[in-house]
């Protein structure tokens, strides 16, 4: 009975992962995404045509998330003048907003709280860190559901830099 229950739970989790990932087809238009940023301004993926966008879902309690944030920030600082936009979306509880703001104070890229963002087309965000890359035409180029173990500078250079060179 216990093995059967474990198998059912595993199948359910795999099904959720697959259904979440199916919404993003590489080379197809990225799902809509809108957010009220921590600084009070608004972000809309629809208004970013012509930019390469990195969307990173994270949380203050997630050590792998926090470990990759310095690389994301360094890459953003180096390439933002080339048309790069990076958006961090914290999935922390609303009561942890002060923690999110404190952590983001060390980084130069904009962020939003998940409660202040609309990202339904990206699936149920339960596995973090989770990163998506969208090209200048608004097409998904990296689906975070199928990712290596974390983001680092070499991976960003491999995936994002060629997109920045496209016009």
- Catalytic site residue 12? no
DSSP letters along 68-124, please? Answer: HHHHHHHHHHHHGGGTEEEEEEE-S-GGGHHHHHHHHTT-SS-EEEEEEEE-GGG--
Alpha carbon 153 to its chain's center: 16
- Catalytic site residue 65? yes
* Active-site pick, 65, 85, 112, 163: 65
Residues forming a β-bridge with 36: 42
* Active-site pick, 62, 74, 147, 164: 62
Active site residues: 62, 65
């Amino acid at each position: 009975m216990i093995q059967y229950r474990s198998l059912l739970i595993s199948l359910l989790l795999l099904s959720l992962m697959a259904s979440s990932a199916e919404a993003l087809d590489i080379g197809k238009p990225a799902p809509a995404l809108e957010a009220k940023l921590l600084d009070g301004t608004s972000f809309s993926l629809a208004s970013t045509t012509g930019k390469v966008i990195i969307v990173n879902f994270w949380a203050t309690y997630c050590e792998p998330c926090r470990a990759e944030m310095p690389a994301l920030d360094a890459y953003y600082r180096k390439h933002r003048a080339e048309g790069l936009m990076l958006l961090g979306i914290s999935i922390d509880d609303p009561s942890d907003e002060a923690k999110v703001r404190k952590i983001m104070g060390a980084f130069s890229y904009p962020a939003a709280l998940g409660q202040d963002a609309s990202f339904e087309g990206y699936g149920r965000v339960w596995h973090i860190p989770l990163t998506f890359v969208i090209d200048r035409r608004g097409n998904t180029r990296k689906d975070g559901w199928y990712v290596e173990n974390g983001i680092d500078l070499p991976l960003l250079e491999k995936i994002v830099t060629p997109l920045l060179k496209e016009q």
